């Protein structure tokens, strides 16, 4: 009878120890499984799966892309599940997740991931560099307008010397000897007329 009591006592002690051990393992395992902020980033969207958060205090979540809000701060309890569409982009985006746990900062989360560029997305256009302007050689060889202006002004001033042909008549094909020749011809005509008249007078006298 005494041996049976000892056996029961030993068994009870073992059961109690096992129960306490199992309970202790459960206590230590619970925090490890609580507050699970799982999230995934692809080239086109962000997936949020926040589980095992406390229900007695408000928890908040916020998602930004390159510093701009993709998901404005929202309040949740226990769980939060959402998919967010990323804007079209031709370069990698920086996505930041901020989760603040209401039951302690040790359960909060601040993490950053990169969203790659989707295949087939348009590449960023590169604007051509401006070509520096080169002055044309012809413009450099063109004389200044100042000398031409001076030349035109000088040409407009009348000369003080008379022209070489001023006062002369315009040439008509006759020379300075024309009056002399005309006078000689008149003398010849008059002399001829005189000879004709003298001849006729002589003939008249001879016949009478």
Q: What is the pLDDT of residues 157-203, one digit of tens each?
A: 555 554 444 455 445 555 556 666 777 777 778 778 878 777 777 77
Output the pLDDT for position 45.
96
Contacts 24+ apart (CB under 8 A), 73-82: 76/50, 77/53, 78/51, 78/52, 78/53, 78/54, 79/50, 79/51, 79/52, 79/53, 80/48, 80/49, 80/50, 80/53, 81/48, 81/49, 81/50, 82/47, 82/48
* φ, ψ dihedrals at 40, nearest 5°: -135, 140
Output the pLDDT for position 50.
94
Output the pLDDT for position 203.
72
- C-alpha dihedral, 81 to 86 to 92 to 96, nearest 10°: -40
Q: 6 vs 95, which has greater pLDDT?
A: 95
Structure tokens at 159: 């000369």
* φ, ψ dihedrals at 113, nearest 5°: -135, 165
Structure tokens at 165: 């042909």
Asked whether 64 and 95 are in contact (CB, 8 A), the reply is yes
Give the Å distances, CA to CA, from 2 to 6, 9, 186.
6, 11, 199
Rounded distance between C-alpha atoms, residue 61 and residue 75, angstroms: 7
Q: 129 vs 18, which has greater pLDDT?
A: 129
Rounded distance between C-alpha atoms, residue 50 and residue 134, angstroms: 64
Structure tokens at 117: 């560029």
Position 33 pLDDT exceeds 50: no
Output the pLDDT for position 186.
77
Q: Identify the band that residue 79 occupies on the pLDDT scale cut at 50, 70 and 90.
A: very high
Output the pLDDT for position 28.
42
Position 49 pLDDT exceeds 90: yes
Residues 6+ apart with CB under 8 A from 66: 93, 94
């Amino acid at each position: 009878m005494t041996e049976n009591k000892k056996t029961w006592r030993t068994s009870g002690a073992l059961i109690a120890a096992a129960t306490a051990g199992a309970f202790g393992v459960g206590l230590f395992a619970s925090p490890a499984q609580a507050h699970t902020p799982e999230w995934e980033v692809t080239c086109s969207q962000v997936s949020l799966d926040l589980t095992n958060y406390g229900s007695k205090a408000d928890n908040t979540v916020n998602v930004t892309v390159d510093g701009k809000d993709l998901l404005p701060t929202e309040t949740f309890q226990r769980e939060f599940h959402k998919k967010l569409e990323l804007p079209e982009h031709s370069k990698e985006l920086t996505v930041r997740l901020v989760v603040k746990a209401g039951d302690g900062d040790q359960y909060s989360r601040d993490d950053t991931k990169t969203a790659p560029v989707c295949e087939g997305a348009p590449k960023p256009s590169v604007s051509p560099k401006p070509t520096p302007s080169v002055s044309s050689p012809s413009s450099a060889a063109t004389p200044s307008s100042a000398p031409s202006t001076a030349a035109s002004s000088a040409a407009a001033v009348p000369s003080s010397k008379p022209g070489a042909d001023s006062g002369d008549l315009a040439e008509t094909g006759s020379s300075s000897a024309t009056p002399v020749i005309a006078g000689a011809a008149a003398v010849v005509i008059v002399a001829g007329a005189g000879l004709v008249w003298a001849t006729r007078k002589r003939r008249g006298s001879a016949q009478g």
